[in-house]
Structure 1
Amino acid sequence: MESLFHANTHIAILKRLESLSPNSIASWGKMNVSQMLNHCQKPLEIPLYNRDFNLKSNFLIKLLFKKSMYDDSKIRKNLPTPKAFKIIETKDFLTEKTQLKKLIEDFYELRSKESFQPHPVFGNFTTSQWGQMQYKHLDHHFTQFGV
């Protein structure tokens, strides 16, 4: 499984980010590219800043979805988005792209960290699982916009 903590994957994700433009069009979903860039920041802020976004955990979600956050399966298109991660307001492309790049780089710097605070919905993840789930989410949305 790819991980945002692997050097080659980290570089590849940054290259994919750079290939996005304000004119990139989604193949599915409701967000435009600037909104997607803002949306992708939220999961990175959880381990970086211990943000919980008032997300609620429940046993069924943990049981059914936790492993899928870091396995080799693809994220299905058009899954429901948690309310805290829905971006409906207008966003500035360059601002969001710059901020996402910074968060990706800051997250990569945590690659040697031995433990993280529990995820507000899914609980504890290993460092490896954190890297895998962050890659998987970015890959899903970058694929959505053709990069």
Structure 2
Amino acid sequence: MKSIFEKEALEEILTRIGQLQPNAERQWGKMNVEQMLAHCNETMLVVTDQKTTKRSLLGRIIGPIFKKDYLGEKPLRRNSPTNPQFVVVDERVFAREKELLMTLVKQFSQGGEAKCTKQAHSFFGPFTPKEWGTSTYKHLDHHLQQFGA
């Protein structure tokens, strides 16, 4: 599985973020492109240790059971439930959210595994730095596909 810590995967994700346009239409889900960018920014703030998150009760119970599948080769499922901590419903400014996401992705990748967050994933629980790299790539890939990038 690809990791955001790999140069090629990082470049791919940054290129795809760069291709997003304000009029991009979602292929599934409820968010518009600005909300998706803001949602991704919220998760990137966690992995860069600029925000803390709480483990959900449901995640504590069943998260470890699904962790292996989540980190596996299969893409994330469409319309999967979003942790309420990361739901964005207000209107956002496209250019600002896009620029912030590019900055946060670069910051996380450049820090490498050595500077990776020690926080647990809000649903799946403890992650190794390698697992955070894979999870971050998969999450961004999922939402970029959602908007055709």
TM-score, normalised with respect to structure 2: 0.90
Distance verdict in 2 for CA 1:66–1:22, change over 3 Å:
same
Output the CA distance in 1 between the equivalents of 2:89 and 2:82. Answer: 12
RMSD: 1.7
Q: 1:108 Cα deviation (Å)?
A: 0.5
Q: Which moved more, 1:36-45 or 1:18-27?
A: 36-45
How far has the Cα of 1:115 moved from its partner?
5.8
Asked if 1:110 is matched to 2:111, the reply is yes
* Alpha-carbon distance between aligned partners in 2 of 1:50 and 1:102, rounded to the nearest angstrom: 13
Distance 1:144 1:120 in 2: 22
Cα distance in 2 between the residues matched to 1:83 and 1:55? 11
> CA 1:137–1:59 in structure 2 vs 1: closer, same or farther (change >3 Å)?
same
Measured at CA, do residues 78 and 127 of structure 1 come closer, stay the same or move farther in structure 2, by a change above 3 Å? same
Map 1:126-141 → 2, pairs under 5 A: 126-141=128-143
Stretches of structure 1 that go unaligned for 5 or more consecutive residues are none
**Superposed counterparts of 1:35-74, under 5 Å:** 35-49=35-49, 51-57=51-57, 58-74=59-75
Task: Map 1:1-147 to 2 at 5 A.
Answer: 1-49=1-49, 51-57=51-57, 58-113=59-114, 116-121=117-122, 122-147=124-149
> Could you say if the C-alpha distance between residues 123 and 59 of structure 1 is closer, same or farther in structure 2, counting changes exceeding 3 Å?
closer
Count of residues paired in the alignment: 147
Measured against aligned partners, the alpha-carbon deviations of 1:75-104 in whole angstroms (never above 9, x if no partner) come to 111011111111110000000000000000
* 1:28-71: CA deviation from partner (whole Å, max 9, x where unpaired): 01100000000011222112125333342543332232223321
Q: Which is worse superposed, 76-85 or 52-61?
A: 52-61
Counterparts in 2 of 1:10 and 1:126: CA distance versus 1, 3 Å: same
CA distance in structure 2 between the aligned counterparts of 1:17 and 1:55, rounded to whole angstroms? 28
Q: Percent identity?
A: 35
- Report the more deviating stretch, 106-115 or 94-103: 106-115
Separation in structure 2 between the aligned mates of residue 22 and residue 16 of structure 1, nearest angstrom: 14
Classify 1:41/1:115 alpha carbon distance in 2 versus 1 (closer, same or farther; 3 Å). Answer: closer
Give the CA deviation at 1:24: 0.5
